[in-house]
Amino acid sequence: MTSMSITSSEVESQMAQIGIMTLTIINKRGRVIDSFGEGKMSISKEKKEMLFIQTALQCSMQDEQDDDFGKMQFLLTKRDKSKFVCKQISKDRIVVAIATNLSDDIAVIQYVENLKKIYDQAYSGVNT
C-alpha cells in the first residue's frame, strides 16, 4: 500500500476520526500484507495471526454462497468491545477494519469501500 497516493499518517488520522483502531490487509491465507494502527490492538501476536486466519477462512467460505445469494459485499461482526468490517478488495486480498463499538457502522463500511477504490486505482492492471 505504500505506493498509493495517501500516506500512512493520513490513513491513521482518517481512521482515528472514524473510530477505526486498526486496519489490516491480509492475503487469502490470513497473512498480513500491510497494517495501520497496529499499536491499538492489545492482543498477542499469536492471537492476531489466528484472528486473521479465521477472517480469511470466513471470507473464503462466503464465496460458496455466491450463486444462491450473490457476491458478498462485506462482513460486519459486532462484539461487546469492538466491531470488525471485512471486505475482499482483490482476488487474494482482504481488508480488515477493527473499530470501537461506538463508531458508526456506515462510516466504517464507507471507509473500507473507499479504501477498495483507492486500492483498485493503485493496482489496476497489476496481478495481485
CB neighbour class for 113 (10 Å; exposed up to 12, middle 13-18, buried from 19) = middle
pLDDT for residue 2: 42
- Distance (Å, rounded) from C-alpha 19 to C-alpha 21? 6
What mean pLDDT value characterizes the chain? Answer: 85
Q: What is the pLDDT of residue 47?
A: 93
Overall average pLDDT of the 87-105 stretch: 92
Q: Give 44-89 pLDDT, tens digit per residue.
A: 889 999 999 999 999 999 888 999 999 999 999 999 989 999 999 8
Band of residue 19 on the pLDDT scale cut at 50, 70, 90: very high
H or E element, residue 34? strand 32-36
Question: pTM for this structure?
Answer: 0.82
Please choose, from the candidates 1, 24, 8, the residue with its C-alpha nearest in 3D space to the C-alpha of residue 96: 24
Domains of the chain: 8-123 (3.30.450.30)
CB crowding 28-41: b at 16 or more within 10 Å, else e: eebeeeebbbeeee
Mean pLDDT of 32-37: 88
